[in-house]
Every structure is written in C-alpha cells, then in structure tokens.
Structure 1
Amino acid sequence: MSVDGSAPSAPLDELIAPPPDIILRSGDLADAGASVVAVPLSAGADGPVFDEAAGRIAGGLGVRLERLLETESPRGDAGSVLTVPLAGGDGPVSRLLVLGVGAGTPADWRAAGAALARRAASGARLALIAGPSSPETLRAFGEGVALGSYRVASLLDRTGHPGRPAPPGDGDPAAVDPAAERAGPASTGSVEAAASAGGASSAAADEAATAAADEGVAGAVQLREVVVLTELARDPRARDAVRAARAVGVAVCLARDLVNTPSLVKSPQWLADQAVRIATAAGLAATVLTPAELAEQGFGGLGAVGRGSPRPPRLVRLEYAGPTPAPPSGSSGSAATPPGDGRFADGHRVLVGKGITFDSGGLSLKPAGSMVGMKTDMAGAAAVLGAMTALPALRVPGRVTGLLCLAENMIGGSAMRPGDVITCWGGTTVEVLNTDAEGRLVLADGLAYAAGELGADVIVDLATLTGAISVALGRRTAGLFSSDDALAGALSTAAGSAGEQVWRLPLTEDYRAALESPVADLANIGRAMEVGGGSITAALFLREFAGGLPWAHLDIAGTARADSDDGEISRGGTGWGVRTLLSWLCAPVDVPTAASGVTSAG
C-alpha cells in the first residue's frame, strides 16, 4: 500500500489482483479527491460517539451526524456500515459511509477495514476521516481492507498463462503427459529459483487452463484507493504499518488464489512451479525435488501418496535469511529471544505445509460429497508459501525455511493399498491402514527431513488434517498441538493478535498406544485401540517425526475453508495461518502484542 503515492508496487502485485492502496494524508477532504467518504463511529460507554473532525467534514457535506444518530440509531459495532446518499449527487462526493469501529481495538479496526472494502463501490477512491489513532490500529485497518477486498479470481491469468490456450489435438482439455510430469522440470538435479523460473510450467499444465479453470472466477477488488486523513501521516511508524499491512494482505491473497485454483490445473508440478515463481518475485531461494530425487532420497510418504496419480509428487524448499536478531535491550548477549519465550528468533525455524492438490481418499475412497472441497487440501502449503513471501518485506530477523509437501491422492493401479508398509524419510516404517489418512504421511517426510537434514531448531506444521477438528472446534478456530509449552503460548498469542483463533488441545499420552502396529513402527490411524480423538492421534503420529525438537501442529481443516464471506474471511480458501505465522515470526515491534480474540486451553 503506497504512502502518499510514493511507494512502488512490489513484484508480487503482478501475481494477484492487488489490494487497494492506503494513502496517508494530513490535509483536508478537498485534497483527498474522493468519491466516497467514511467517518468512524465508536461504541462509547455512554452511547455511540463521532469524532469532532468527522462531524465537521460531514457538516460540510450537508449531513448532521447528531441528527443521524437520532433517526438511524447506529450503534457503532465494529464492522457495521450505514450508507447515506448525499442529496443532489452533483458534487464529487456521492456517498457518506458511517463506519462502526467498536472500542477501537486492532481487532475492531480490522473488522471495520474489511467491512469498508466490501461496501465501497467498484473503482472508488474513498476517504476515511479521523481514522486509526496508532500504528497498531492503522496496520490492522490496512489488513482488513486488503482481506475484505479480495475476490476469487483466476491465478492463471497472472502467472504466465494469459488467456485460455487451445486444448491438445485430441480435444481433451484435461489431457496430461504422465511421462513429462514424472520427468519433472529438470532431468536429475534440483530446480533452483531464477528470474526466469516462472516459465518452467509444463505444457500439460498450460493446456489444462481451460474453461474448467473459470470455476469461481469473479470480479477483482472493489476499492481502488483509501485515503486516510490522519495526524499520523508524517509518522514513520505509521508508514511502516501501512507497508506491513500490504505485505500481509498480499501474502494472504496469494494463498487464497492458490487454494481456489481448480485441481484440474493444480497438479503438484504446477503448484511447485508457481511456488518457485512466487518465491523468486519475493526474493527467496527455492529448490524443487523431482520425483526421481524424492525416491532416491527416501521420501517414502510422498512417494506412496502420489503413486496413484499420473501427476507425481514434489517437495519445495523455500529459504529465507533475515537480518541478524538484535540482543534484548540492556543485554550484552547475542540471543534475540529470551530463553523459553517460544519465538526462537535466534534459531532456525522450519515451517512445513501439507500440500495435497486433490484428495480423493485413494483406495479408501471418500464419499462423493466429501470430495467437493478437496481442491483446498493444500491450504497448509499455501499458508506456508504465503507467509514466506512476506518475510523480506517485513524484515523478519533470523533464518526461516518453508517446506511444501505436494502430492495428489488418487486411485489407480499403482495406488497404495490398505495394509501396505512404507518407509518415511529417516527410516520410520508405517503401516497404512487407511489411504485417506494421507496428509500425515507427506508431513512425516517433511518433519523428519526438517529435523534430520535441515537442522531445524523449531518446527511448525500446518495441515487440513482431520475432519474431527471441525467437529471439536467448528470452522473459525484451529486446533493447536505442541510438544513445547512456550511455543504453544507464543503461537496462541500470535494468532490472537493477528485476528485468528486457536485452541490448544492435549497430546494425550494414553492414546499413543492406538498407533502401534504389529508389522511396522507405527500405524497411520488409531486402530490398535478404540480411543477416538482422531485429531489427537493424528498429532501424536506427527510428533514421532519431529526429532524431539520443539514442535507445533496447527490442524486447519475447519478454518482453511469458508462457505461465505464474513468480515476479513473470504468464501473458498481463507488463507488461514498466514497471519498467525507472520505474527509469530515477526519481532514484537512489528505486530500488535495484545491477545484479543485468542482462546487457549487452560
């Protein structure tokens, strides 16, 4: 979001329909050039309250706000919007919006920003009078505007797939060349991100970008610009807050676009290619392990899950090296993070995302209705990719690596069977009792690789892992499991300050026996004893591969998808987890520290 029109667009803007610009001004309404004006209404203890500046501006537009309170009875609830058409309509300003901002907390301003973006007219330039009063609330407002303005759109048209190319000669738009997919974008060696990496998409993926990719495609963002008339306009911290809000908004929108892309197009190779392209634009290093390399290096979980599909798996590694963490104030040491605070800013943090590009359930086939939303089963990987792209813009300190575990779980003559025993990276054997419990198998490879090969100091994974988590916590709260209390606390606080909710669930040791197998080290589902607790046994399975390191698992099966727009939540892929990860990874000065909205197990 440019400040006073001076900030250039980031390369990532070319890959999404970019969010509206936020422009800070200290002048009056005439300088804003706006067609729509919004004034905040606070929910005060003695009733709703308008700011004095809002009253003055509204009076100049012919609206008496005190009269409006009497006739319309707005309450000032965060995210409420009252539209007041202006008489005559001959002037430059056609509408006045009364924007409820509640108590003015960051969460309230985030909700207000999202509501404003949803209610403003397409292409409008909007002026907000007497807006957020601190950099923290300004950032929350900017994030809300970015998230609320998102509309499902075709990623294909912004990632090297202009238009709709002609289908293959046989007229089958879904035709795929299995040999080309299995060979991968390179014959043997890893694919290193380069400036031209975006052209690495296979011809088969190009040809698949047909009318089926129009699923869910709608208009672009509503707002063009939001001019905030505020005394903070000359405050460098406010400018940084606006830039941070844009970085977060772009990261979430990237994740949403990827999640919403139809699986006809979104093969593991296609998603790996897009990850490389996006990483390159963000300034990250990226490496893709091809199917041959995965087999050679022992990624048995990815290999087994991907066997039933003609579009084989990939592993994408994204690497970021930020500035050296500064020592705490008054300390002569080099560690940036006080021992036990759970942020690990001075260590190597590895994020692992489940990336099942479509989940049929494999031979343990899902019911037809349960498959409908399974193009979103790679939401964990999308969240990791989105968060990684924002790290350079936010100047997150220290080293962060992201792993995207990409596979398609399909039926076929080569598909893994119930009763098969596979060997995951590092040598742990797993008896497959249900092929629809596949996400934990690809994550097992990623977690073990992070602990054993990458030298992680802390690991956090995100996955649309279990339907049981939605039964337990609903669709707005993610399940949090962790082997480390400090890490769990830090993630809970981060989620609350970012506007996402988590609830910590126990790793019940008594349930571990359910994963025992007579023929392997582990079974992939809890069948050895009927303990229930599907989300807990799944987390216990994952813990086996974390190498005893501080580890946390976020089960986002409920939160990663939404059936309707609501506040900053979008219909379809929500991008859940991007904000939580960034809030956790950023230094405290970069994110609000209040834990409003957080829920945690006592």
Structure 2
Amino acid sequence: MLAIRLVTGPERPDTLVLPVRPEGPDPSAALVPTASPPADDVRAEATALLPVARLTGDAGEVREHLRPGGTPSRLVLLGVGAGDEQGWRSAGAALARAAKDETHITVALPADAAAALRGLVEGLLLGSYRFRLTEAGGAPALAEVDVVVPDPDALTPILETARTTAELTRLARDLTNTPSSVKNPEWFAGQVAAAATGHPDLHLRVRGPEELAAEGFGGILAVGGGSASGPRLVELDWRPADARTHVVLVGKGITFDTGGISIKPVPAMKLMRKDMAGAAAVVAATLGAAALRLPVRVTTLAPLAENMVSGSAFRPGDIVRHYGGLTSESTNSDAEGRLVLADAMAYAVRELKPDLLVDLATLTGANAVALGKRHAALYSENDQLAADLLAAIDAAGERAWRMPLATDYVEYLGSELADLHSSPARGAGSVVAALFLREFTGDLRDHWVHLDMSAPSWSDDADAELAKGATGWGVRGLLRWLATLG
C-alpha cells in the first residue's frame, strides 16, 4: 500500500505538487499559500502557468509541467476547490490516478493543514485502490508520498486516523468485490477472524447452522437453507474499559442472492456478490474502532447466508419464526435481507441491550429509484440521532438522506397467517422494508437507525475517491460518528 510520510520541507528533487484554488472569473485559479513556500523561481513559474493552462482550481483538476534539469524536475498543479476536506479528498484521489507512473511525489499543504491532510490521505489511499483478485496489470508505480506540513508530530494522529479509515474502507471494498465463487458465509467469517487477529480487546463468536437452529435464528436459517454453504452469524465485539456507550451495528450479509425460488432475472443477478456490503461495512467499522481505540463499545452482528435455489430453499408463502418468537410471512423469497436482519436485531435488543442500534443493508432497489446512485436512505424516529449520523456521513464524504417512516404504510405489514407480512406488494418498497425492521427493535425503537445503502455501495465508474466497483460505503461515516460518542 502507498506509504505516506509527513515532512517539514521537500527532501527529494523529483515531483512537487502545489495546490491551486478558484479565484476570479472562470477559468481562473491561484496558488494556495503553503506552510513551506516553494522557491521563488518555482512559484513564479507555477503562477505563469495558471492562465496558460486555463486552470480553474476545481477539486481534482491536475496539470503536470516538466522542468528538465530543474529542481523539482516535475511540477504538478492540483485543484483543491474550496480547500475543505472533501475538496482535498477529491484532489488526493485524482492525484493518485494521475501520478500512477511516478514512484515518489511531494505534496505541499497549507499552514492550517488538519482538514487538508485528512482529506488528502483518504483520497490518495482510496483513489489508488485496486481490487486484489481481478485487477489486470501490475500495481501502480507510485509507492511513496511526502506531505509537507508545519508540524509533523502534531499532525501524526490525523494521518493515522485517515490511514486507518482508508485501509478499512479498502477492506470493505475487497470483501464486497470478491466473487461469490470464493465468498460464502464460512469464508466471510474466516476473513473476519483473520482481520481481528492481533486485537486482544476484540471478541469474536461465529455461530454455525447447528447453533443458529438451537438458539432460534429462523430467518437466517430460512434464507440460507437452499445453499450447500450453510449460514453463519458473526458477532464481533470491541469492548474498551472506558466505554460509556454501547452501539450495536447490524449488517446484511447475503454473500450471493439469486432471489431464491422468486429468482431474479440475469441482469439483476450479475452483481449480487455485493449483497453483503452492509456486513462488510459494519465489520470494517468495528475493526476501525478497535484500531483507533475509540472509547465506545461496538458490537457488530453480521448475519451471513447464500440465498440459493434448491429443493431445500424456503418457499414463497412460508412462515418464518424469528429470534424471539415473532413470525413473518414472505411471498417473495427475493425479499430475504430483512429476514436475516430481523433475527440479528431481535437478538441485539433482547440479549445485548445496547444504547443505540444501527443497521446497514443493501436492502431495496426502491432506494435507488428514490435517491439515485449516490445517497443512502436513512430512517429513524430519533431526530437528534438521525441528525448526528447524517452530519458524520456528510463530513466523511459519503451521502445519505432522511426518509419518512410513514405510519400510513404500517397496515401493509398485516398478514392473515403470521404476525407480519415481510414482503407486501403494495409499493413504497424502501419505507415498508424499514417499517418491517422497526417491528424488531423493541425498546430501542427510538434509538435505532436503518440505512438502506444498496445504491451507493457500488459505483459504475471511478469518480473522486470512489473506485469502479464496491465503494465501502458506510465505513467512513460510521467511524466519524462513533468517534463522537466517546
């Protein structure tokens, strides 16, 4: 992975990156004052280049200028937009792609470097991401980045926070991108165990099919019953001694979704390796809480199953008995995610008794219909909790929009055969799915947030810090939010 080092001035005469920002009528840009100003001749040359190159200073704009025999030998002008953290994040990602053939670069930051540093580092590490199994060609040449800051010691904690956040977002991307020919519930649980190794304060328990049956996790067993790869329930617990708040994170972990007997059409099935992106995000966020030693207890529950077609698959119209005893009727086996989440949430409320409950799930296509590809749908009855989480998600460079838990639609959940109907065919798909999950929150009903994040979990193209493929959505936002709870 890219090595990033904090320095007080340029130490190598190869490539120097200077930030520029919009100024005056478009197109027009100006150099951003940096903590370690470039030499007078370099500054004069860069200033003269700005109008010639018709730079705007927009975040992510990159122009390279060769200086044969000069020091530095290359000069890169990097647009950072308004210079806020997101601008620097987009700039860092664009720089990582533009400089992929370099081996080392030096980036100059402004004197007020905290937000710039965090954004730049996350952008560099996320923009340079390549999926380890399927990416063609060799690794990018860029191996080292020196970042010029006024006080490296004071800014080292910000560097480490940004690095940890990006590394765990990359882990979530890796888990989500992995083909389902490799990734089944047992494999996923093994990856969590391997990642948790070395963290003595992390506690891991993995329930297999026999334990799930003995303890009454009927939803997970129903969804996973059609696969030769049995379901699992991963429980990962970060339990610092000074924690005052206990948060349970639940993530949908369908390692492949055929739709079951209600089988999907081929176009809708081809990306269903991503149907465990919620589980990947909450696992990565918990590992991040431990790595950053956040003073908040975090327990992740990842219900894992393959939703397959076979003689043992659950049928449309079957009645599922969930953990704790509530029953649901499902007339669509492709509405499987809410069944595994319901089990995990009921277990969390009854047995773990946390202060706050948050679930992340690639749950509905209706989320994308309502909000497009970039926003998750957020549901909560707690205004302050919703506002806090939305603020953290926004600060992290992710996007979500609060949606209503419309009481008018509760009647859709009525069933003549069970306590609830899990897949009513009456519209408002994302809202109704959230209302179904709310039935399993018990006493935590007003301390619960549901994030329907199917659309933003995957990007069709590289864009700013997003790579093509899995985005790792939710890791950055959750870590920002958890850091506020200490």
TM-score by length of 1: 0.77
Structure 2 residue matching 1:316: 3-state secondary structure: strand
Counterpart of 1:365 (choices 251, 257, 263) is 263
Cα distance, 1:62 vs structure 2? 9.2
Structure 2 residue matching 1:377: 3-state secondary structure: helix
Asked whether the equivalents of residues 342 and 440 of structure 2 are also in contact (C-alpha less than 8 Å), the reply is: yes
Structure 2 residue matching 1:545: 3-state secondary structure: coil
Cα distance, 1:37 vs structure 2? 1.5
Residue aligning to 1:228: 147
Counterpart of 2:17 (choices 23, 38, 46) is 38
Asked whether the equivalents of residues 66 and 73 of structure 2 are also in contact (C-alpha less than 8 Å), the reply is: yes
Structure 2 residue matching 1:480: 3-state secondary structure: strand
Structure 2 residue matching 1:389: 3-state secondary structure: helix
C-alpha separation in 2, matches of 1:520 and 1:313: 24
Cα distance, 1:217 vs structure 2? 5.2
Residue aligning to 1:454: 352
Counterpart of 1:568 (choices 465, 470, 474) is 465
Residue aligning to 2:49: 68
Q: Which residue type is aligned with residue 184 of structure 2?
A: S
Q: 1:385-464 maps to which residues of 2 (within 5 A)?
A: 385-464=283-362
Counterpart of 1:547 (choices 434, 439, 442) is 442
Cα distance, 1:297 vs structure 2? 0.4
Residue aligning to 2:93: 114
Q: Which residue type is aligned with residue 16 of structure 2?
A: V
Asked whether the equivalents of residues 405 and 446 of structure 1 are also in contact (C-alpha less than 8 Å), the reply is: yes
C-alpha separation in 1, matches of 2:451 and 2:90: 24
Does 2:182 match 1:268? no
Cα 1:439–1:58, aligned 2, differ >3 Å: closer, same or farther? farther
Counterpart of 1:510 (choices 389, 393, 408) is 408
CA deviations over 1:20-79 (Å, ceiling 9, x no partner): 22211113x2x2x25322100022357522145699636555971222122111011111
CA deviations over 1:515-551 (Å, ceiling 9, x no partner): 1110000111123xx3x21000000011111113011
Asked whether the equivalents of residues 150 and 221 of structure 1 are also in contact (C-alpha less than 8 Å), the reply is: no
Q: Which residue type is aligned with residue 386 of structure 2?
A: A
C-alpha separation in 1, matches of 2:208 and 2:140: 36
Asked whether the equivalents of residues 247 and 357 of structure 2 are also in contact (C-alpha less than 8 Å), the reply is: yes
Structure 1 gaps of 5+ residues are: 1-17, 155-214, 326-345, 590-602
Residue aligning to 1:293: 211
Cα 1:457–1:21, aligned 2, differ >3 Å: closer, same or farther? same
In the comparison of the two structures, how many residue pairs are matched?
A: 481
Cα distance, 1:393 vs structure 2? 2.6
Residue aligning to 1:150: 129
Q: 1:77-476 maps to which residues of 2 (within 5 A)?
A: 77-86=58-67, 88=68, 93-122=72-101, 124-131=103-110, 133-154=112-133, 215-216=134-135, 219-221=138-140, 223-234=142-153, 236=154, 238-283=155-200, 284-322=202-240, 324=242, 346-476=244-374
Structure 2 residue matching 1:366: 3-state secondary structure: coil
Cα distance, 1:218 vs structure 2? 5.2
Cα distance, 1:256 vs structure 2? 0.4
C-alpha separation in 1, matches of 2:399 and 2:32: 31
Q: Which residue type is aligned with residue 536 of structure 1?
A: V
- RMSD of aligned Cα (Å): 2.0
Q: Which residue type is aligned with residue 468 of structure 2?
A: R
C-alpha separation in 2, matches of 1:91 and 1:281: 47
C-alpha separation in 1, matches of 2:380 and 2:7: 45
Cα distance, 1:396 vs structure 2? 0.9
Asked whether the equivalents of residues 481 and 505 of structure 1 are also in contact (C-alpha less than 8 Å), the reply is: yes
C-alpha separation in 2, matches of 1:142 and 1:282: 24
Structure 2 residue matching 1:436: 3-state secondary structure: coil
Structure 2 residue matching 1:565: 3-state secondary structure: coil
Deviates further, 299-308 or 124-133: 124-133
Structure 1 residue matching 2:20: 3-state secondary structure: strand
Residue aligning to 2:388: 490
C-alpha separation in 2, matches of 1:561 and 1:576: 8
Asked whether the equivalents of residues 152 and 217 of structure 1 are also in contact (C-alpha less than 8 Å), the reply is: no
CA deviations over 1:495-524 (Å, ceiling 9, x no partner): 111111110000001101101110000111
CA deviations over 1:428-449 (Å, ceiling 9, x no partner): 1011110000000000011001
